[in-house]
Amino acid sequence: MVSGTVKVDIEGHVAIMTVSRPEKLNALDLDMLRALSEAADAVEANAEVRVAILTGEGKGFSAGGDIRAWGGMRPEEFGHAWVRHGHRIFERLATLRVPLVAALNGHALGGGLELAGVADIRIAEEHIKIGLPETGLGMVPGWSGTQRLVKRFGAQLVRRMALGGEVFSAEEAKLLGIVDAVTATGNSVAAAKDYAARIAARGPAALEVVKLMIASANGEDNGTAVEALGSILAAKTGDLKEGVASFTEKRPAQFKGEW
């Protein structure tokens, strides 16, 4: 299945989302952001999918936001149509019901690192570089580089990248905890598939719940995590079945406190 400039392939219980604009090193524009949202919806709607992989076509993972897409925007347009819209899409990816593995087959800089940051697991090829160069352009990270990345990588590492302009190699990023594994050039997708198979062999319901619990513990979208967990629990009770039946049959509910 192809969703605009993001391809979605299903292999058993694994969905592979590939950002596909190789001539621009998969730099993101508004069409690609919409395509990412559609891809996330497609993955979420497929009950057979237990884990997803996110990667880029060609030699790049993602060069981040395409400066040609936002450079000429008016400030208010930039803030709403670009930053807030992109923020919503990245949040959508970060809160997928299934675990997400990023296969970093190329540099992850700026918005590309923010995109990698939505994943639960990151596998990087040995040649790539990682950093947040926005302040060198007089800009700031806008797609959770100072928010989600601080929670996931730590404030000091984000300071070093965003304030100091430090760029890390794949091996340095692994030692610092930014990526979880480093593989040979050209092997990130295969390594991600191997890791995805490990995940897919585990209980899918448990995976979904544990992902929510970890996000809550890490201070990420606590309200959504708590309400999702509570709703899942309530939906499995006999009381809900009785409540729906009584509403349909137009009678008082006879709740029994059945779990």
Nearest in space to 104 (alpha carbons), one of 4, 185, 5: 185
Q: How far apart are the first and last CA of the chain?
A: 40
Please check whether residues 215 and 189 belong to one and the same domain: no
| Same-domain check for residues 139 and 56 | yes
Longest dimension (CA), the chain: 66
User: Which is catalytic among the residues 38, 44, 57, 114?
Assistant: 114
The answer to pTM > 0.85 is yes
Burial class (CB in 10 A: 0-12, 13-18, 19+), 198: exposed
In a domain, 258, yes or no: no
Residue in 57, 125, 134, 220 annotated catalytic: 134
My answer on whether 243 and 157 are in the same domain is no
> Structural domain of residue 8, as residue ranges?
2-200
Q: What is the pLDDT of residue 109?
A: 94
Q: Evaluate whether residue 116 is within a structural domain.
A: yes
Residues 221 and 185 in one domain: no
The C-alpha atoms of residue 225 and residue 231 are separated, in whole angstroms, by: 10
Does 58 share its domain with 109?
A: yes
Looking up tokens 């309200």, which residue turns up?
A: 223
Helix segments in 64-180, DSSP class H: 67-70, 75-77, 85-94, 111-116, 148-153, 155-162, 170-176
17: closest CA among 35, 107, 34, 120?
35
Residue 53 lies inside a defined structural domain of this protein: yes
CA distances from 134 to 23, 76, 146 (A): 22, 19, 11
Those residues whose C-beta lies under 8 Å from the C-beta of residue 240, and which sit 6 or more positions away, are: 234
- Domain boundary residue among 182, 200, 218? 200
User: Does 114 lie in the same domain as 12?
Assistant: yes
Note the pLDDT of residue 214: 92
- Tell me which residue of 247, 142, 100, 126 sits closest to 183, measured CA to CA: 126
pLDDT at 73: 63
Judge whether 134 counts as a catalytic residue.
yes
- Sign of the alpha-carbon torsion through 125, 191, 211, 43: positive
One domain, residues 112 and 208:
no
Q: Please indicate, yes or no, whether residues 62 and 182 belong to a single structural domain of this protein.
A: yes
Distance CA(142)–CA(111), nearest Å, equals 8
pLDDT of residue 220: 82
Mean pLDDT by groups of 10 residues along the chain of 259 residues: 78 96 84 91 95 94 76 68 80 94 96 96 97 89 90 96 97 98 98 98 93 89 74 79 85 82
Query: How many domains, the chain?
Result: 2
Strand partners, 125: 183
Around Cβ 91, how many Cβ atoms within 10 Å? 17
Please check whether residues 87 and 126 belong to one and the same domain: yes
In a domain, 80, yes or no: yes
Pairing of strands 181-183, 121-125: parallel
Does the residue 259 lie in any domain?
A: no
For residues 165 and 52, state if they share a domain.
yes
Same domain, 145 and 168: yes
CB-side exposure of 119: number of CA atoms within 13 Å? 26
In a domain, residue 229? The reply is: yes
Q: Which of 200, 220, 235 is the last residue of a domain?
A: 200
Assess if residue 255 is contained within a domain. no
CATH number of the CATH domain containing 99: 3.90.226.10
Instruction: For 106-141, write each residue's pLDDT tens digit.
Output: 999 999 999 999 999 999 999 999 999 999 988 888
Helix, strand, coil shares of the chain as percentages rounded to 5? 50, 15, 35
- Angle, helices 222-235 vs 204-217, to 10°: value is 150
Alpha carbons within 13 angstroms on the beta-carbon side of residue 165 total 7
- Name residues whose C-beta falls within 8 Å of residue 238's C-beta, 6 or more positions apart in sequence: 256, 258, 259
pLDDT digits (tens, 9 = 90+) for 39-49: 999 999 999 99
Looking at the structure, tell me whether residues 170 and 96 fall in a common domain: yes
Residue 100 in any domain: the answer is: yes
pLDDT reported for residue 79: 67
